Amino acid sequence: MSRKVDVVVVGGGITGNAILFQLAKYDLRCVLLEKEPDIASGTTKSNSAIIHAGFDAKPGTMKARMNVRGNKLYHELKDELNLDIQWKGSLVAATTDEEMDSIRDLLERGKVNGVDGLEIWSGDRVRQDEQYLSPEIQGALWAPSAGICCPFGTAIAFAENAELNGAEIIRECEVQGFDVKDGRITAVRTDGETFETRYVVNAAGLRADEISRLAGDDSFTIHPRKGEYVLFDREASKKMTQGVIFPTPSKTSKGILVCTTLDGNVFVGPNAQDMDDKDDTAVTTEGMDQILSAAKKLLPEIPVRAAIAEFAGLRAIASTGDFVLGRSEKVAGLIQAAGIQSPGLTSAPAIGEYIADIIVEETGAAPRQNYHKGRPPRYIFRNMDSAQRAKVITKDERYGRIICRCETVTEGEIVDAIHRPCGARTVDGVKRRTRAGMGRCQGGFCGPRVTQILARELQIPITEVRKEARDSYMFYDKDWETTSGGKA
């Protein structure tokens, strides 16, 4: 089966969804293809969640340009899309004279990149705000325009708005090849449909080089760089930091930082390990020791016993040393959005704008009539006062049933997360949208109930409920596997 569209976006991470969000502002038929059951299930879900100010990237690079523009766009989009962002600013701490020289260089680089408000603080000034930091810190670079966000929540916001404006997101749809005629892409072949199209945007993350080669462009490669993290209990985090604290960066990494999250949990990490395996997200004892040892240079008293989770993410490192953005020089109609490592999260809306401008310029597409700003409203029970809670329970009694005790997440919120545009289909999809399972018990209490609600609302047997990936079934049923071909 085949059908015609104007643009196919390959990849459902934050970059792909930001591109879809920008394209949906125009009169274009757009489809996003994601091979997994949910969007934002790769690098997007496992990163530091920081909206960078833009002082670190080398002036003149795409990273610098997209970072600064992306930061500005997030300030504009926060209210429009109801994004979870806190503009906390960030500090780059120096503990030696040499590191002090480095942060002065970062100050000058930031000015060249167009970052406003940068200042050098003394060690004493830093500790006025961050009393638990090391007395060895001599000074820091302060960047007030930096912030923290929810990366997968932001990707979901882009997706919800795009679908509201007629774009389509097709999950569990893996690209298998392309049709190219006279040097131009004419179709995308998947394990389901074939899409006849004029443009393909390659936002496939770690697999972007593979997708590019399938289309006939082998001009770059991607290798994975793993970063491991340790997350701490919210109560213990109160005596760590409520801000964003970087060490002085190295040539390959911004370093192992100490950072709060939107919900008050502090994490430390990531390290940087160049890998061969694009699927290896395992944490290691050696990695955890490295992270904790490095973080103690910033924060001497780390409550190791208060750690509640360890996880790892993979960054897509391009052979070019920069983002790979724009028209392919080898295949007409192929638009690259590849090699999106840090500051990729910050750059996402600017990358979307940049790619959309290319396609609009070539097609002459008009702005979409009756374009809908924002996305459907949602209730966040833990943030409501008693009167607000009573009102919403009167409308829907499911908001009166707490499913996740750690994070105060109700049945009503979970049901809404399943049925919203680009709704949750997996246990982790519910977790990312509602925080059910993100608390101290890490889903030990609410996990079975979330599984039941998913089966009920999706109208599937409970044996078909998955944790996250295509084959991550929560339960084993020999008869079901035999009759329907499922995998336990």
Do the bridges between strand 334-338 and strand 199-202 make them parallel or antiparallel, or are there none, so unpaired? parallel
Distance between CA atoms of 443 and 448, rounded to whole angstroms? 8
Place of tokens 């990358």: 351
Concatenating the DSSP letter of every residue in 161-203 gives HHHHTT-EEEES--EEEEEEETTEEEEEEESS-EEE-SEEEE-
To the query of whether residue 223 is one of the catalytic residues in this protein, the response is no
Non-local (6+) Cβ contacts of 350 within 8 A are 65, 66, 67, 69, 70, 73
Q: Do 31 and 224 contact (CB within 8 A), yes or no? A: no
Non-local (6+) Cβ contacts of 121 within 8 A are 91, 139, 140, 141, 142
Burial class (CB in 10 A: 0-12, 13-18, 19+), 255: buried
Non-local (6+) Cβ contacts of 129 within 8 A are 243
What angle do helix axes 344-363 and 62-80 make, rounded to 10 degrees? 90
What own/partner pairs with CB < 8 Å and gap ≥ 24 does 380-384 have? 380/413, 381/408, 381/409, 381/410, 381/412, 381/413, 382/407, 382/408, 382/409
Q: Please give the structure tokens belonging to residue 119.
A: 């200042």
Distance between CA atoms of 5 and 20, rounded to whole angstroms? 13
Place of tokens 């809670």: 389
Which of the 8 DSSP states describes residue 131? T
Which candidate, 280, 288, 205, 142, places its Cα nearest to that of 13?
Answer: 205
State whether residue 143 is helix, strand or coil.
strand
Compute CA 35 distance to the chain's CA centroid, rounded to the nearest angstrom. 16
Non-local (6+) Cβ contacts of 52 within 8 A are 67, 71, 90, 146, 342, 343, 346
Q: Which runs of E-coded beta strand occur in 96-143?
A: 119-122, 139-143
Compute CA 3 distance to the chain's CA centroid, rounded to the nearest angstrom. 30
Task: Give, in degrees to the nearest 5, the angle at Cα 191 between 203 and 211.
Answer: 30
Catalytic positions are 52
